Amino acid sequence: MKIGILGSGQVGGGIARKLLALGHDVMMGSRNASTKAEEFPGIKLGTAPEAAAHGRWVINALPGEVALRVIGQCEVDGKILIDIGNYESAIDQPITTPLGEAIQKAHPRARVVKALNSVSAHLMIDPGNLQQRHTVFLASNDEPAKREVTTLLESFGWKDVIDLGDLGASRAMEQLIPLWMRLEGKLGGPQFNLAVVRG
Instruction: Report the pLDDT value the prediction gives residue 90, as an integer from 0 to 100.
Output: 80
The answer to whether residue 23 is domain-embedded is: yes
Instruction: Report the pLDDT value the prediction gives residue 35, as an integer from 0 to 100.
Output: 80
Quick check: 127 and 157 in contact, CB under 8 A?
yes
- Check pLDDT > 80 for residue 153: yes
Instruction: Report the pLDDT value the prediction gives residue 89, as an integer from 0 to 100.
Output: 87
The answer to whether residue 55 is domain-embedded is: yes
Q: Can you tell me the mean pLDDT for 176-195?
A: 97
Look at the chain and report how many structural domains it folds into.
1
Question: Which 3 state secondary structure label does DSSP give 110?
Answer: coil
Backbone angles phi and psi of 158, in degrees to 5 = -70, 135
Please state, in angstroms and rounded to a whole number, the distance separating the CA atoms of residues 127 and 188. Answer: 19
**Tens of pLDDT along 94-145?**
899 999 999 999 999 999 999 999 999 999 999 999 999 999 999 999 999 9
Model confidence at 92, pLDDT cuts 50, 70, 90, reads confident
Q: What is the value of pTM for the model shown?
A: 0.96
If we measure between CA atoms, which residue out of 90, 68, 181 comes closest to residue 60? 68
Q: What is the CATH number of the domain that holds 68?
A: 3.40.50.720
Please state, in angstroms and rounded to a whole number, the distance separating the CA atoms of residues 120 and 130. Answer: 11
Instruction: Report the pLDDT value the prediction gives residue 139, as an integer from 0 to 100.
Output: 98
Residue type, 22: L
The answer to whether residue 197 is domain-embedded is: no
The answer to whether residue 199 is domain-embedded is: no
The answer to whether residue 158 is domain-embedded is: yes
Say if strands 136-140 and 111-115 run parallel, antiparallel, or are unpaired: antiparallel
Instruction: Report the pLDDT value the prediction gives residue 34, as an integer from 0 to 100.
Output: 73
Q: Can you tell me the mean pLDDT for 39-45?
A: 92
The answer to whether residue 192 is domain-embedded is: no
The residue segments making up the domain with residue 71 are 2-187
- Check pLDDT > 90 for residue 93: no
Model confidence at 197, pLDDT cuts 50, 70, 90, reads very high
The answer to whether residue 193 is domain-embedded is: no
Q: Can you tell me the mean pLDDT for 47-54?
A: 97
